[in-house]
Structure 1
Amino acid sequence: MNAPEPSQPVLDRDTLAGEYFETLPYQPYPVQEEALLAYFTGDPEANGGHGVLVCAPTGTGKTLIAEAAVYEALRAGTRMYYTTPLIALTDQKLDELRESAVRWGFSADQVGLVTGNRTVNPEAPVLVVVAEILLNRLLNPEQFTFDDVSCVVMDEFHSFNDHERGIVWELTLGLLPKSVRLLLLSATVGNSLEFTGWLQRSHGKNLQLVQGTERKVPLQYEWVEDELLNDFAEKIAAGDAESRRTPALMFCFSRSQCWTTAEMLKGKSLIDKSRQKELADILNATDFTSGVGPKLKQILMRGVGVHHAGVLPRYRRIVEELFQQKLLSICVCTETLAAGINLPARSVVLPCLLKGPKDKRQLVESASAHQIFGRAGRPQFDDRGYVFALAHEDDVKLHRWREKFDQIPEDTKDPGLLKAKKQLKKKMPKRRSGETYWTQAQFEQLQTAKSADLVSRGRLPWRLLAYLILKDNHLSPIRDLVGRRLMRAAGIEKAQKDLNRMLITLHNSDAIVLDPPPKPMKEKPTEPAKPKKPGEIVKAIEAEAAAPPATGGLFGELLDSMREGDEAPAEESVDESTPEDDAAAIKQRGYELEDYTPETATPRNRLERIVQLKSVNPLFGVFLADMLASADDNERIAALESVLDVPGTVARFTRMPKIEDMPPGNLATTYLDPLLLQRGLATAEELGGATDDEEEEVRDKGFGRVMFEEPRVWPLTIGEKLLRLFRDDYPRVDDVRVRPVWIVGELMEFGGDFDKYVVTRKLQKEEGILFRHCLRMILLLDEMANIPPENTTVETWEDWLDDLADRLTETCRRIDPQSTDEILQGTSADAEDLSVQGGRRNV
């Protein structure tokens, strides 16, 4: 990549600083001024010369600090990267930085975007990118030079803590040349001094720390114990522009709760007549005829928006635009909105402080709460931001009852008052059994909770490890990288063992050849099991009878967890604190890990295939490709859909058809089923051999008691069968999950008519999730086409994948052409996006 021609003579940094300060629309407040001076005056040869780490609460104007680096690149004729963790945030930053460039007198085309899924002016001197793009360019110095890069901005840098993708920021920090200045922007961090010390020791980067604790727009916290949600919403929306507390973001912790809340509010008066007329004109000119559109339009007409992943992107864009135009009083949203998307609000309202399934609800994490709180208060409009937390409606009713009851004097002799008091006692509201409640003390606890520490999390991703080996087969740099992670000594030791396990797994799968090869573990003689005494047998039977019923079979417990309706992550993050029986883990593959230090890893063809996959765990993806070569159409669709991590709240309504409606296909009957039985990985019942739904009574004659078996066994789906076989072949790969669904398959049965499908299945409120699933399926099909199994042809493999991808693309374009094209137009450049573990958040 060639450096741009400088449009001006080389400028010293003092001049650049002076010019930038003159462009500011207002006098910067202390933390902004301190950060800007630190950025422009830092000496690369001195402490703090390699950049600045800015830790300040959400809403303290960190964008103004970041734009100093953008101005420098445009003015001095250098290049710079602006990284974000989210696709949605990159799109927003692209628009913001283009507006700033034009305001400074430059062309909007001098700001571009590269996300792997979308590119805009990729040769522009200022590039907004997702973090994976920057890392990939650093790993390919023969293609991308950083000699002319003046700065890298890492926005929302607390994403360093992300279990799946945090390592991208970690690697990037280590690989960036010292000539490139860093500007790391984060919410407040608990261990900021420790972090800058680690960065200096491990990577030789000296950053000046700038911390701020006060916001320009301070927050006012209020616990609301005497108002129900509907009445409170109407109250804060009343009055003129100065007195009302709207626009407000109302955060709910589930998509279904968002809809419930929004529908409760649509009957309230939340917007004045003048704004409602303007709002109605816009809404009547917009197409809301499909899917959830008619329902959403009714809600929007009352000044209430709904914003979460279940809403189609085209509807979410409308909600964002209306809210920014101050035509919506309240936007009901999930916490993902707090992750960086800028919807300026005067207030934040929390109807609940708990999240999770009904029987496992817990207080929201403090880091998430701080992000949510920080969305309140607009510097250009408000002198303060309001954060309201509402008590549970049962507690509100109790509070109101107590106020009435306490108004009657304890020592009253008045017959009328005594009678009223007696009647009140009878009508005293009660808390419900089984319900979880939150308190004012918990709200105050969240306000003062310590900020999260930055720490290295998760393992080195499989695809990234494969990529590094392909770049250099010497393993010492990778081992050195692991040794420099931000962990305690025990965590580093465990991470090195994990690396050895991963290398041995790749070696055993014929993806690499290790030198020296792994050492076989010496088998230790095991003592024969002692026979149980009769009393112990009785206890064992009683314990088994008392245990909750399971699905049955060797992996029944795993399947039970998969079939639960509650949302669960598709990947299981492994933290350094996770307890693990290392001895058993080593023995599982029969190799010694202690004192084993392979020097090189020679790549085999399989490693090239692993690098091609980013939508799924790449080891499982290659395994799937080899298995699906002989599968029929339905088996292929079902297997591929099952790895795409559909939320449990959607999966329960999109399950695979029953076995009698979709009998096992060619792959299952001719290969998988016999093999699973032979290896003892499944029972005949799990493979569809049992049809009796009635409980069988079994008399245990030896102990004279009646026990009941649960013969109902859910037949395994094709995805579950493949996972069982994969786990047996790859016992140390524990980050793979499947969730059997039939979304794309059924959509094709509807002829690709998405609206007809969601309406028939009554899934309008989740259509955004289904749309995203279809887009991710297209990307997966494209990747799978690049790893054809042996003994397949273009006609039997790639043509089938391409045909399904084309039909799905046509369907998605009918739903939301803008989002479809934005996501898919970059697929030809996907090789540049070294995403980690599937890029779920990117799509």
Structure 2
Amino acid sequence: MPAPTRDELATKYLDQLPYPPYPVQEEALLAWFTSEQGVLVCAPTGTGKTLIAQAALFEALHSNTVAYYTTPLIALTEQKFQEMQASAERWGFSRDDIGLVTGNRKVNPTARILVVVAEILLNRLLHQDGFDFSHVSAVVMDEFHSFADPERGIVWELSLNMLPKHVRLLLLSATVGNAVEFLNWLDRMHGRKLEVVEGKERKIPLTYHWVAGDYLNDLLVQIAKGDDATRKTPALVFAFNRDECWSVAEQLKGLDLLNAGQRTVLNAEVDKLEWPQGIGPKLKQMLRRGVGVHHAGLLPKYRRVVEELFEKKLLSVALCTETLAAGINLPARSVVLTSLVKGPFGKEKLIDPSTAHQIFGRAGRPQYDTEGHVYVIPHEDDVRISKWKEKYDQIPETTKDPVMLKKKKELLKKKPTRNSQKKYWTEPDFDKLKTAPPAKLYSKGPLPWRLLAYLLKISPEVEKIRSVVKKRLLDQPRIEAGMKQLNRMLLILAARGFVKLEPEPPAEAPPAGITGSEPTAAPVAPRREEGLRIPGFSPPPPSAAAAAAAALNPPTDYQPILATPTERLDQLLVFRAVHPLYGAFLIEYLGTASREERIQAFESVLELPRPLLKFVRVPFELPPGPLATEKLDPELISRGLIVAKPPKVEGEPEEEEEFVPWDERPPVFAEKLRLLFDAIHPEITDVTTQAVWAAGEVLNFGGNFNTYITSRELAKQEGLIFRHLLRMILLTQEFEQLTPPGVEPAAWQAELKDIADRLTETCRSVDPMSTEETIKKAHAADVVEGEEHAKAIAAAELAKAVDLAKPAEPEEEDAFGAGVLD
């Protein structure tokens, strides 16, 4: 029997739909079944892009070819996998024809339809010797606006670059502002001519409300009134920091937000919850009132319950932070914004349109609602002014009544005012965000160090990597800046002994910290005077010193042709939760460190939100270990970076130590490590570290998580500490793969395994399900998808372990970017 034509498949697909397609869906489907190379579909949230995606998979099943469906998040991938299995059955195929590959989980990995996280597709494209793409007919890239993500957008860029030309593309994105420009770039740089289908209208229209005269509590009570058809709940209330989520939730506990039917069922569900510790009892009280809280400060087991209850329409309100808008899909009839500005006090700025549109788009559920509602309330100062003005205006200016005149004067004296230091938002700001054009697709973020190391492992030819940079969707000045940055990165790798450049960089005076002349392949070492040399190091060869000098001031005319890896380059492929160059630096120093020093070093590379840092400071009285006293302190003193404590004069009485303010304290161990790193590597400027003591303190508490949380008053942020411990487990397993100089590998591995095992036991006692999932993710980086194990590890590193290698969700005042918790 001949294979069906594409026209026949289009008719067959449309005929099996359970309902007529929405106009943008119909246009996109027709474009897909008639286009030669593929389609870019740009449409708002809620326009049913999944139905469009399924057409490509329907075609692949009927034509006996292979198709990939990629998403940026594991949770979304799992959701789409289940949807596609149900659709395959409906189309007359087997559920086993749909496979799932996310790194930590594989189901039917040889199926004809593979639902994967985006990094898995790139991994396979980088290992085409191990994966045959000749039978692949289509790749669907969902949430394609992730192309513009500063950290992971390079994954989508490289995938577009490496996909064989016979593979058709279906790119599904939120509305973007430069679709035509993007398609022109795709044609010019990658030889792909895609059609574009753009939709502006949502399937469920939005109604916008500026609530000028009501406080938040009054608004929520009002929209919760009525029956299921008329009430405007369930509602997601977005706040821009976790503390505000809790404070608002506390205010709502006593309000009438539930109907009788909800209350009975909800109480029965909450009765099943056994949450005796941490924030559990408080959250249970809130849930009984129909109020949920959902943010990174909650343990995953609490967030899961809030999601389940909200999806069952048992909660009227969920307080959440902005990252929920980009991650978990909680269907809501309304969204409420408590603010339109974010940032540290006195420096608040209006949120960007992209964030606003993501939040607005959460309103309206296609299966339940005919419209969605977006409410924005002004600052409470403005609400007070509004209420005051309403009273004041009730007394006519022309009144002659002495009583009324007196009352008007009294009101005038009590007129509320704004705080001159605060940034307020107004209805015109709201209008500006509503009508703001959608964000544009551009390449963002530099070439990651791990990716550069991996590409060099594949081929030392620098021109191949330059071609990647040249093809990025950037204007010419930024392309040129990217080329300079690539040169600088290669010079840094050469200076640190990870690659050998040909031709060699021009000889220049080496920077501070780089001296010596004897040739060696050993890593670069600091050397101020012979007595302060660090054991295990040797001075760099002249070419490395020249490369270090050139990295600080790259010569404009120097263009390396080859960057041949040394054995040391494999070190960079090991690290995913830490900057690879900083990880390699730590390996060289931690051999003589004590257990506490090693824990401090590891914790310092795992970013925590800044508001949390005051709770996890390193105790000033923590005794120094051998690495600090024998090596770090002498080296830093000799460099003039710290001041030596004057020797005690015999016979002098002991002086009582006065209280020293935190910001005037001497640097703690992790800060000393960073001081030395910056002195040795002044050309490396993209490392982030923080001196914290959380995992170490939990271990000092015998692994009792709840005792630690209670003693530090961290119940409302326990989810962040839990996540920090999970990331610490993964980090120790990375460092187990390398051994510092002067340490027996077995002893090093045993100590790190003991730390990981103790933390794992702690985490299991808190949230066993999430702990087991994380342990699986720890092994995801070791999934051998290609021929060579080292390459497979490197490819997994590109993903930064999807979620756990990224910083936790930040507060409004945090400087680093948000990371979506999956």
TM-score under structure 2 length normalisation: 0.88
Give the superposition deviation at 1:105: 4.2
1:834 equivalent in alignment to 2:794: no
Give the C-alpha shift of residue 711 in structure 1: 12
- Is residue 601 of structure 2 the alignment partner of residue 639 of structure 1? yes
CA distance in 2, matches of 1:766, 1:9: 61
Q: Against the structure 1 CA distance between its residues 691 and 118, is the aligned structure 2 distance closer, same or farther, given a 3 Å change threshold?
A: farther
Task: Give a deviation string over 1:504-554, Cα, whole Å, max 9, x none.
Answer: 110111111111111124899xxxxxxxxxxxxxxxxxxxxxxxxxxxxxx
Counterparts of 1:57 and 1:808, CA distance in 2? 43
Alignment-derived partner of residue 625 in structure 2: 665
Counterpart check, 1:618 vs 2:580 = yes
Letter in 2 for 1:15: E
Equivalents in 2 of 1:30, 1:671: separation in Å?
Answer: 70
- 2:659 & 2:767 partners in 1: Cα distance? 49
Deviation at 1:827, TM superposition (A): 2.9
Are 2:554 and 1:603 equivalent residues in the alignment? no
Residue aligned with 1:144, SS: coil
SS in 1 for 2:154: helix
- Which of 19, 24, 32 pairs up with 2:25? 32
Matches of residues 676-691 of structure 1 in structure 2 within 5 Å? 676-684=636-644
Partner of 2:706: 755
In structure 1, distance between residues paired with 2:277 and 2:17: 44
- In structure 2, the partner of 1:393 is 380
1:487 paired with 2:470, answer no
Alpha-carbon displacement from aligned partner over 1:46-94 (angstroms, at most 9, x marks no partner): xxxx211111122222122122223333444333222222233333333
Q: Which residue is equivalent to 2:323?
A: 336
Could you tell me which residue of structure 2 aligns to residue 744 of structure 1? 695
Of stretches 681-690 and 778-787 in structure 1, the one that deviates more from structure 2 is 681-690
> Matched residues in 1 for 2:106 and 2:677: separation?
36
Residues 66/75 of structure 1: CA separation in 2 closer, same or farther (3 Å cut): same
Matches within 5 A, 1:521-670: 521=508, 589=551, 592-658=554-620, 660=621, 662-670=622-630
Q: Counterpart of 1:128 in 2: which secondary structure?
A: strand
Is the alpha carbon distance of 1:364 and 1:596 closer, same or farther for their aligned partners in structure 2, counting shifts above 3 Å?
A: same
> Is contact 1:463-1:610 (8 Å) kept?
yes
The residue identity in structure 2 corresponding to 1:282 is E
2:798 is paired with a residue of what secondary structure?
A: coil
**410, 414, 428: which one pairs with 2:415?**
428
Q: Following superposition of structure 1 onto structure 2, how do residues 434-453 of structure 1 map, counting pairs within 5 Å?
A: 434-453=421-440
1:325 to 309, 312, 324: 312
Q: Which runs of 5+ in 2 are unaligned?
A: 512-546, 783-791, 807-818
The 3-state SS of whatever aligns with 2:781 is: helix
Instruction: Give 2:787's aligned residue.
Output: none
Distance 1:446 1:338, change over 3 A: same
- Is this contact kept in 1: 2:85–2:98, CA < 8 A? yes
Provide the C-alpha distance between the structure 2 equivalents of 1:479 and 1:326, rounded to a whole number of angstroms. Answer: 53
1:297 aligns with 2:257: no
Rounded to whole Å, the distance in 2 between the matches of 1:717 and 1:837 is 28
How has the CA–CA distance of structure 1 residues 687 and 147 changed in structure 2, closer, same or farther, with 3 Å as cutoff? Answer: farther
Give structure 1 stretches of 5+ with no counterpart.
1-7, 44-49, 525-584, 697-709
Shift of 1:115: 2.8
Alignment of 1:517 with 2:504, yes or no, is yes
* One-letter identity of the residue aligned with 1:197: N
8 Å CA contact 1:688, 1:715 repeated in 2: no
| Partner Cα distance (2:41, 2:327) in 1 | 16
Picking from 712, 724, 739, the partner of 1:773 is 724
| Residue matched to 1:553 | none
SS of the aligned residue for 2:264 comes to: helix
3-state SS in 1 of match to 2:664? coil
Question: What is the Cα deviation at residue 756 of structure 1?
Answer: 2.4
Q: Give the whole-Å Cα distance in 2 for the aligned partners of 1:30 and 1:478.
A: 42
More deviation, 285-294/788-797: 788-797
1-structure distance, mates of 2:437, 2:78: 31
The 1-side partners of 2:306 and 2:510 are apart by 64
1:136–1:834: 8 Å Cα contact kept in structure 2? no
Partner residue, 1:535: none
Counterparts in 2 of 1:794 and 1:64: CA distance versus 1, 3 Å: same
Q: Do the aligned partners of 1:464 and 1:836 also contact (CA within 8 Å) in 2?
A: no
Distance change (3 Å), C-alpha of 1:161 and 1:686 = farther
Q: By how many angstroms is 1:455 displaced?
A: 1.2
Q: C-alpha offsets along residues 441-469 of structure 1, whole Å, 9 cap, x if unaligned?
A: 11111111121221111211000000000
TM-score for the superposition, normalised by structure 1:
0.86
The 1:11–1:443 alpha-carbon spacing in structure 2 relative to 1, beyond 3 Å, is: same
Q: Give the Cα–Cα distance (whole angstroms) in 2 for the partners of residues 432 and 496 of structure 1.
A: 47
Q: What SS does structure 1 have at the residue aligned with 2:592?
A: coil
Write the distance in 2 (CA, Å) between the matches of 1:687 and 1:96: 71
1:289-332 superposed Cα distances (whole Å, 9 cap, x missing partner):
23211111111111111111111111111111111111111111
Matches within 5 A, 1:301-316: 301-316=288-303
Residue in 1 that maps onto 2:43: 56
Checking the alignment, whether the CA contact within 8 Å between 2:605 and 2:689 is kept in structure 1 is: yes
Structure-2 separation of matches of 1:586 and 1:64: 54
Residue 605 to residue 285, structure 1, CA distance change in 2 (3 Å): same
Q: Is the 8 A contact 2:695 2:725 kept in 1?
A: yes
> Whole-Å Cα distance in 2 between the matches of residues 189 and 724 of structure 1?
43
Q: CA deviation at 1:628?
A: 0.9
Q: Percent identity?
A: 53
Q: Report if the CA contact (8 A) 2:238-2:335 is conserved.
A: yes
1:771 alignment partner AA = F
1:468 — aligned with what?
A: 455
**3-state SS of 1:655 partner:** coil
User: Which residue is 1:19 aligned to?
Assistant: 12
| Structure-2 separation of matches of 1:830 and 1:246 | 42
Secondary structure in 1 aligned to 2:248? helix
Is 731-740 or 461-470 further displaced after alignment? Answer: 731-740
What is the root-mean-square deviation in Å for CA atoms of aligned residues? 2.6
In the alignment, is the contact (CA less than 8 A) between 2:67 and 2:138 conserved in 1?
yes
How many aligned residue pairs are there? Answer: 755
Q: 2:341, 2:408 → 1: CA distance?
A: 35
> What amino acid is aligned across from residue 680 of structure 2 in structure 1?
D
Is the CA contact 1:156–1:340 (under 8 Å) kept in the aligned structure 2? no
Task: Give me the whole-angstrom Cα distance separating, in 2, the residues matched to 1:101 and 1:714.
Answer: 64
Worse-superposed segment, 677-686 or 465-474: 677-686
Letter in 1 for 2:564: T
2:109 to 113, 122, 129: 122
CA 1:196–1:589: 2 relative to 1, 3 Å: closer
**Corresponding position of 1:803:** 754
Deviation at 1:177, TM superposition (A): 1.0
CA distance in 1, matches of 2:510, 2:199: 58
* Residues 163-202 of structure 1: pairs in structure 2 closer than 5 A: 163-202=150-189
Counterpart CA distance in 1 for 2:640 and 2:720 is 37
Alpha-carbon distance between aligned partners in 2 of 1:75 and 1:788, rounded to the nearest angstrom: 52
Contact 2:732 2:753 in 1 (8 A): yes
* CA distance in 1: counterparts of 2:707 and 2:354, whole angstroms: 41
Equivalent residues in 2 for 1:782-821, closer than 5 Å: 782-821=733-772
What is the CA distance between 1:643 and its match in structure 2?
0.3
Contact 2:505 2:550 survives alignment (8 Å): no
Higher mean C-alpha deviation, range 92-101 or range 664-673: 92-101
SS in 1 for 2:616: coil
Q: Would the alpha carbon gap of residues 287 and 590 (structure 1) be closer, same or farther in structure 2, given more than 3 Å must change?
A: closer
359 and 504 in structure 1: CA distance in 2 versus 1, 3 angstrom threshold? same
| Higher mean displacement: 605-614 or 812-821 | 812-821
